[in-house]
């Protein structure tokens, strides 16, 4: 009986193999499986890579720092909460050599350092850097190149630190945990942690930093523990507000989102196609039943046929996806040498499992409908409205469940599901309302539009399925494009390209003059030089800062110290005005109105400031109050030196305080020796080389940009598949409709025009749904998943939508041209 049914299924499978509906289903299933499997494979590889590299860039998953050492009980608690802990200690101390002295930040590490990433050192000043495991041996010290220059040192010299002699043995090139320490321009030195003990510094001068390897979950529990037990300690972690951490999180979420979107697209495509398939299967079962088989046998055969189809499809898909995965990895390999191709079993199984469940979910209605159905009813076909919607809604539920299990980010998926469900409900409502009202109001007009509305209203069930399919695709596409654009511009703002490879963070007026002079002589390019003075924010609206804002934020943390207050005549090139007026009353020179200030937009949001608020700063022991008259934001492309707070130049006449400059220089490789000269002349000049940091960063950015564009491309192609599938689902119906219209004495061009109008109506309803869906998804997802403030750019949205619409209509009309190749003649011969 069973083998018999399997044989029968095999027989029908072979028989149907070349039928259009089977071929289309096979192709769509194959393409979807291929996309999803390849993507999950590649994104697994890329995520592993990024994980490793960003860890390398950050040096740890989290850093706990405080002024005291952890007690052994605390240390073992931290160790038990996390995977690995490495202690480092830091102190600012003066190094002396041959009567010269220099203050530097000394870091003490042990054999376990570094925790993640690469510690790079070299044996010679200009020598090649090598990866180094473990810190300096007892009695040795490693110094950065600037210290060598400022103390005129050589490898092998003896150096005095707090009355102890150290052997200078290596040049310190790169410490992986530097970025987590924030923007510091101190000169750097490294010693063994046991020497630190021997040096006997007073322990309150030492900053204890514990580098921690931990999962996100562990980090969260660590933070909870720290808040309760060590409130004075600070934790920085990669999920935190560090720009790189943010960037990493965004990328991870984007990849996650893309796979969820692909998953739903796949669902839509399969759903549209299954409509065709359902009819064929019902028909086939009806034949079986009319030949005396039970409906159960019909279901069995249908199941087996479905399974055979998948089983035969899977090897092909796995083979092809492996090939594609290999291609993608080798393509990325040109930029990232250590990205390796490897089988990732878990994602393969997971994605295949999820997609197979998805296919099954949409096939269940077929099996359901076969169960206990009379032959005549099967031949009549045509699902009735209520059960139609019931199956649709239950499939959405099952699908959401599968998607949530499939994705690692449950919250993100849930948000997407909410947005999608709302959009679906909205589009159903809108289809119904638009078509009903449209039909009502145009009843008394003649023309093709009222007729189209009438026809669409009459065929609302099948039409709204199509509208939903197209609408969801447009929504997902629009959202992807919007996110791509916004992420792109945020990432571009990180990009330090063409921004110099040496950053001078604090130069006094004579120092800057010297640099400018040197630059002129040596042909060094000064990219930017911007003046500032130190100012400490003390009050907002006459209220002490601490009272004004309790919400912890990066901004608030920064305002705890003095910030750099920049002045200018007009908006800097790398800023744009977000709100307010940049320097009101600038027309009158020497304006009385100098107490104006412009605050960076994110700072405004973080602190909850509005235009018109007053800020009180202490500048060189004097207090000044400014009113916020504008808000600005960073605009990429014109250099990275930007200031959170800016005032008009007119204020300078009223404020007496030391003035400094920030500058960025572009040095050619042979000009690097100039730096030593500079440091020798001005040991206090704060200057940092950015080459290495920017190089890694830029290459990762470039890859991410490519990656995200690649995802979007796949989503676009899938959109086309879905639209084609939805057209194909209705093809026979459309053909018949066109033939019938022609039998009323209308020409093919009338049918064509009807077709165009119908697609325009379909596209417009889908478009409205897409706009609302995108808006909603933006509202839900932007802040929580990408830490982006969501500001719907409606002009951009509508413009993009308009283009998408045109393309959808064009694609729809083009793809349905087949439906126009109908004739009255076909109605005669059709049985």
Min dist. Cβ of residue 385 to another protein (A): 11
Q: Which helix (H) or strand (E) holds 53?
A: helix 20-58
- Note whether 825 binds another protein by CB under 8 A: yes
Residues from 470 through 529 that contact another protein (CB under 8 A): none
Query: 414 or 449, CB closer to another protein?
Result: 449
Within 360-399, which residues bind another protein (CB under 8 A)? 380-382
C-beta contacts of 289-295 below 8 A and 24+ residues apart? 289/375, 289/378, 290/375, 295/370, 295/371, 295/372, 295/373
Question: Which ranges constitute the DSSP H helices of 673-793?
Answer: 673-681, 691-743, 748-786
Q: Which two structure tokens, joined as six digits, stand for 122?
A: 């070299």
Comparison of 551 and 744: residue with beta carbon closer to another protein: 744
DSSP reduced 3-state for 583? coil
- Kindly state the smallest distance separating residue 380's Cβ from another protein, in Å: 5
Which of the ranges 332-340, 480-488, 534-542, 820-828 carries the binding residues for another protein, by CB under 8 A?
820-828
Q: Which residues pair with 213 in a beta bridge?
A: 84
Least Å distance between CB 455 and another protein? 8
Residue 373 beta carbon to another protein: minimum distance, rounded to whole angstroms: 14
What is the distance in angstroms between the CA of the first residue and the CA of the last residue of the chain?
Answer: 34
177 versus 734: smaller Cβ distance to another protein: 734
Report in angstroms how near the CB of residue 733 gets to another protein at its nearest.
8
Q: Which stretch binds another protein (CB under 8 A): 341-349, 649-657, 812-820, 822-830?
A: 822-830
Comparing CB distances to another protein, the nearer of 209 and 463 is 463
Q: Which two tokens stand for residue 310?
A: 């998948």
Binding to another protein by CB under 8 A, coded x per residue (else -) over 727-756, reads ---------xx-xxxxxxxxx--x------
Quickly count: other Cβ atoms within 10 Å of residue 264's Cβ.
Answer: 25
Q: Which is nearer to another protein, 463 or 632 (CB)?
A: 463
Q: Return the number of the residue (350 or 737) whose C-beta is nearest another protein.
A: 737
Q: Looking at residue 69, what DSSP letter applies?
A: P
Cβ pair 815, 826 in contact under 8 A:
no
Selected binder of another protein within 96, 497, 584, 823 (CB under 8 A) = 823
Q: Which of 26, 52, 388, 459 binds another protein (CB under 8 A)?
A: 459
Q: Which is nearer to another protein, 96 or 462 (CB)?
A: 462
Q: 98: number of CA atoms within 13 Å, CB side?
A: 8
Nearest approach, Cβ of 824 to another protein (angstroms)? 5
Least Å from the CB of residue 740 to another protein? 6
Please name every residue paired with 543 in a beta bridge, in sequence order, or none if there are none. 540
Residue corresponding to tokens 């002045």: 567
Q: Which is nearer to another protein, 253 or 739 (CB)?
A: 739
Q: 468 or 704, CB closer to another protein?
A: 468
Query: Cβ neighbours of residue 554 under 8 Å, at least 6 residues apart?
Result: 241, 606
> E strands within 226-338?
234-237
CB of 458 to another protein, least distance (A): 5
Q: Shortest gap between Cβ of 283 and another protein (angstroms)?
A: 15
State the Cα–Cα distance between residues 141 and 122, nearest whole angstrom.
Answer: 13
Closest-CA residue to 345 (of 329, 328, 321, 361): 321
Residue 436 or 706 with smaller CB distance to another protein: 436
3-class state of residue 110 by DSSP: coil
Residues 660-699 binding another protein (CB under 8 A) are none
Answer for the pair 766, 471: CB distance below 8 angstroms, yes or no. Answer: yes
548 in Cβ contact with 659 (< 8 Å): no
Q: Which is nearer to another protein, 388 or 536 (CB)?
A: 388
| DSSP secondary structure letter of residue 650 | G
Residue number, 436 or 784, with CB nearest to another protein: 436
Minimum separation from the CB atom of position 291 to another protein (A): 22
State the number of CA atoms in the 13 A half-sphere of 108 facing the CB: 21
- Cα–Cα distance measured from residue 555 to residue 545, given in angstroms and rounded to the nearest whole number: 12
Nearer to another protein, 162 or 449 (CB): 449
Regarding 278 and contact with another protein (CB under 8 A), the answer is no
Closest CA to 713 of 261, 315, 157: 261
Which residue number, 570 or 747, has a Cβ lying nearer to another protein? Answer: 747
Minimum CB separation of residue 735 from another protein in Å reads: 11
Closest distance of CB 826 from another protein, Å = 10
Between 510 and 745, name the residue whose CB sits nearer to another protein. Answer: 745
Token pair listed for 586: 């600038």
CA distance 656 to 535: 12
The crossing angle, in degrees rounded to 10, of helices 20-58 and 243-290 is 160
Number of residues that bind another protein (CB under 8 A): 36
* Peptide bond between residue 438 and the one before it cis (omega within 30 degrees of 0): no
Least spacing, CB of residue 288 vs another protein, in Å: 22
In the list 462, 549, 712, 764, the residue contacting another protein (rule: CB under 8 A) is: 462
Contact 255, 87 (CB under 8 A): no
- Region from 133-141, 684-692, 707-715, 818-826 binding another protein, contact rule CB under 8 A: 818-826
Q: CB-wise, 446 or 592, nearer to another protein?
A: 446
C-alpha 472/C-alpha 770 separation (Å) is 7
Q: How far is the CB of 443 from another protein (least distance, A)?
A: 8
- Rule CB under 8 A: choose which of 307, 314, 357, 461 binds another protein: 461
What residues form DSSP beta bridges with 199?
none
Interface residue with another protein among 163, 521, 653, 829 (CB under 8 A) is 829
Instruction: Confirm if 536 and 562 have CB atoms less than 8 A apart.
Output: yes
Write the binding mask 75 to 104 for another protein: x where contact by CB under 8 A, - elsewhere.
------------------------------
Rounded CA-CA distance 696/194 in Å is 33
| Cα–Cα distance, 566 to 561 (Å, whole number) | 16
User: Going residue by residue from 427 to 456, which x/- string records binding to another protein, judged by CB under 8 A?
Assistant: ----------------xxxxxx-xx--x--
CB closer to another protein out of 220 and 750:
750
Rounded least distance, CB 744 to another protein, Å? 4
Q: Is residue 41 within 8 Å of 347, Cβ to Cβ?
A: yes
Q: Quote the least distance from Cβ 434 to another protein, whole Å.
A: 18
- Contact string 608-647 vs another protein (x = CB under 8 A): ----------------------------------------
Residues ≥6 apart with Cβ < 8 Å to 200: 162
Q: With binding defined as CB under 8 A, does residue 113 bind another protein?
A: no
Q: List, in order, residues 6 or more apart from 68 with CB less than 8 Å away.
A: 203, 204, 208
Q: How far is the CB of 741 from another protein (least distance, A)?
A: 7
**DSSP-derived secondary structure letter, 479:** H
How many CB atoms are closer than 10 A to CB 1? 7
Bridge partners of residue 94, in order along the sequence: 103
What are the φ and ψ backbone dihedral angles of 506, each rounded to 5 degrees?
-150, 110
Which of 290, 458, 543, 605 touches another protein by CB under 8 A?
Answer: 458
Q: How far is the CB of 743 from another protein (least distance, A)?
A: 4
Q: Please report, to the nearest 10 degrees, the dihedral formed by the alpha carbons of residues 37, 40, 41, 47 taken in order.
A: 170
**Of 501 and 822, CB closest to another protein:** 822
- Applying CB under 8 A, the residues found at the interface with another protein are 380-382, 443-448, 450-451, 454, 458-459, 461-462, 736-737, 739-747, 750, 823-825, 827-831
């Amino acid at each position: 009986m069973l083998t018999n049914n399997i044989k029968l299924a095999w027989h029908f499978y072979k028989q149907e193999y070349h039928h259009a509906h089977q071929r289309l289903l096979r192709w769509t299933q194959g393409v979807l499986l291929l996309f999803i499997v390849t993507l999950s494979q590649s994104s697994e590889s890329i995520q592993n890579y990024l994980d490793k590299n960003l860890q390398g860039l950050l040096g740890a998953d989290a850093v706990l720092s405080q002024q005291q050492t952890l007690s052994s009980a605390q240390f073992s608690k931290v160790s038990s909460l996390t995977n690995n802990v490495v202690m480092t200690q830091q102190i600012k101390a003066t190094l002396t050599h041959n009567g010269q002295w220099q203050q530097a930040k000394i870091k003490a590490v042990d054999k376990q350092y570094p925790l993640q990433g690469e510690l790079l050192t070299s044996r010679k000043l200009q020598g090649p850097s090598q990866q180094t495991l473990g810190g300096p041996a007892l009695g040795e010290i490693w110094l950065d190149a600037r210290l060598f220059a400022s103390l005129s040192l050589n490898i092998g010299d003896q150096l005095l630190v707090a009355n102890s002699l150290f052997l200078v043995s290596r040049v310190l090139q790169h410490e992986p945990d530097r970025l987590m320490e924030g923007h510091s321009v101190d000169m750097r030195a490294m010693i063994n942690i046991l020497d630190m003990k021997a040096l006997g510094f007073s322990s309150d001068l030492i900053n204890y930093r514990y580098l921690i390897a931990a999962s996100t979950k562990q980090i969260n529990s660590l933070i909870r523990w720290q808040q309760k037990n060590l409130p004075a300690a600070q934790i920085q972690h990669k999920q935190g507000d560090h720009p790189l951490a943010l960037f990493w999180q965004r990328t991870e979420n984007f990849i996650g989102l893309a796979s969820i979107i692909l998953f739903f697209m796949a669902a839509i495509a399969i759903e549209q196609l299954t409509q065709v398939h359902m009819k064929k299967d019902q028909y086939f079962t009806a034949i079986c039943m009319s030949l005396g088989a039970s409906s159960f046998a019909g279901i069995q055969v249908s199941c087996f046929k479905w399974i055979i189809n998948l089983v035969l499809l899977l090897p092909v898909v796995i083979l092809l996806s492996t090939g594609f995965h290999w291609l993608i990895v080798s393509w990325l390999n040109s930029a990232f040498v250590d990205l390796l191709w490897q089988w990732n079993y878990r994602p393969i199984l997971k994605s295949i499992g999820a997609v197979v469940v998805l296919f099954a979910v949409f096939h269940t209605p077929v099996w359901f409908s076969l169960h206990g159905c009379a032959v005549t009813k099967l031949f009549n076909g045509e699902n009735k409205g209520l059960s139609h919607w019931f199956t649709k809604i239950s499939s959405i539920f099952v699908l959401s469940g599968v998607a949530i299990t499939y994705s690692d980010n449950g919250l993100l998926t849930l948000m997407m599901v909410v947005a999608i469900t709302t959009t679906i409900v909205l589009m159903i409502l809108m289809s119904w309302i638009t078509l009903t009202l449209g039909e009502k109001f145009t009843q008394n007009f003649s023309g093709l539009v009222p007729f189209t509305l009438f026809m669409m209203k009459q065929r609302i069930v099948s039409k709204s399925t199509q509208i939903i399919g197209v609408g969801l695709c447009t929504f997902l596409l629009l959202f992807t494009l919007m996110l791509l654009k916004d992420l792109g511009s945020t990432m571009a703002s990180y990009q330090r390209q063409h921004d110099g490879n040496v950053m001078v963070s604090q130069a006094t007026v004579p120092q800057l003059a010297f640099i400018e002079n040197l630059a002129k002589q040596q042909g060094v390019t000064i990219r930017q030089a911007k003046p500032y003075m130190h100012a400490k924010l003390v009050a907002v609206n006459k209220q002490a800062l601490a009272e004004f804002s309790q919400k912890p934020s990066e901004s608030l943390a920064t305002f705890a110290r003095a910030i750099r207050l920049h002045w200018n005549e007009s908006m800097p090139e790398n800023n744009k005005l977000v709100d307010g007026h940049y320097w009101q009353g600038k027309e009158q020179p020497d304006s009385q109105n100098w107490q104006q200030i412009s605050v960076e937009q994110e700072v405004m949001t973080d602190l909850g400031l509005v235009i018109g608020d007053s800020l009180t700063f202490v500048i060189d022991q004097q207090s000044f109050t400014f009113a916020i008259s504008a808000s600005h934001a960073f605009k990429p492309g014109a250099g990275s030196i930007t200031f959170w707070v800016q005032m008009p130049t007119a204020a300078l006449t009223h404020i007496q305080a030391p003035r400094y400059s920030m500058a960025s220089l572009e040095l050619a490789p042979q000009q690097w020796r100039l730096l030593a000269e500079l440091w020798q002349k001005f040991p206090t000049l704060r200057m940092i080389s950015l080459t290495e940091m920017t190089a890694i960063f830029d290459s990762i950015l470039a890859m991410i940009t490519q990656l995200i564009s690649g995802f979007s491309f796949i989503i676009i192609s899938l959109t086309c598949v879905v639209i084609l599938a939805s057209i194909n689902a209705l093809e026979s119906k459309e053909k018949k409709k066109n033939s019938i219209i022609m039998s009323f004495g209308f020409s093919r061009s009338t049918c064509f025009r009807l077709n165009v109008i119908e697609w325009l109506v379909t596209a417009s309803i889908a478009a409205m749904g897409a706009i609302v869906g995108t808006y909603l998804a933006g509202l839900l997802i932007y802040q929580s998943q990408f830490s982006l403030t969501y500001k719907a750019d409606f002009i951009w949205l509508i413009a993009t939508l308009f283009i998408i619409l045109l393309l959808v209509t064009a694609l729809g009309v083009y793809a349905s041209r087949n439906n126009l190749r109908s004739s009255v003649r076909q109605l005669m011969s059709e049985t």
